[in-house]
Amino acid sequence: MRYLITFSYDGSKYQGYQKQPSMNTIQDEIEKVLFKLAHEKCVSIHASGRTDAGVHAFNQKAHFDLDENINLDKLKHSINSMLPSDIYVKKVELVKDEFHARFDVKRKEYIYKINIGEYNPIEKNYVYQLNRSLNINNIKEALLYLKGTHDFKSFTKSNNEKEDYIRTIFKADMMLENNQIIFSFIGTGFLRYQIRNMVGTLLEIGLEVRKPKDIKEILEAKDRRCAGKIAPSCGLYLKDVYYE
């Protein structure tokens, strides 16, 4: 039986989602629980994508296979009873055997939170503490250049060699409320560090170190060195994953 789980996590104490040798990761914690539920048989989970160290998720998705048909509510309760308190399964559902949590994704939505007011130590792991005023109009203008289908090579990891850097961004917006900026991005998918690199560049535009139209030139350059400094991981959240 193939199961799809929707789960949230606080990534501040983990070395990212993906399993890594001798490191504490989200995938490790979930697979340890499934190992117990599967009577000490190894169970691999396949997520919609990985998140880096310190990144959080509201609605991450992953699938896994179990030999037995378990009541969904019972399975959800059993998993949560053994998971650390900073990881929580919100939903469990049965899916077709050919479904794949990563390859069937149609869109992903991320948000990034920034505090431009006074420093808040309580939120330091969850909201980037920039604590500086920004030119909001410049940022809004720059966001327009990110929408659409582009080659985003300038906004990914410098040594991330891929055959295809083309992605489509359907939504690139921001809102300001109580000295907190929240960026929102919806796209077909995102390259590694893409959102954090875009946010870092947008902040330089907001600080008037760059101009809004520089985004267009950065995209055309296809060179990571042309974009701004990467934004910290603490403000980034995987908000949702959308399938057919």
Residues taking part in catalysis:
52
| Local structure of residue 155 (DSSP, 8 states) | G
Query: Which pairing describes strands 2-9 and 87-95: parallel, antiparallel, or unpaired?
Result: antiparallel
CB neighbours of residue 81 within 10 Å: 8
In contact, 12 and 54? CB cutoff 8 Å: yes
| Encoded tokens for 26 | 């989200």
131-134, long-range: CB < 8 A, 24+ apart: 132/207, 134/181, 134/203, 134/206, 134/207
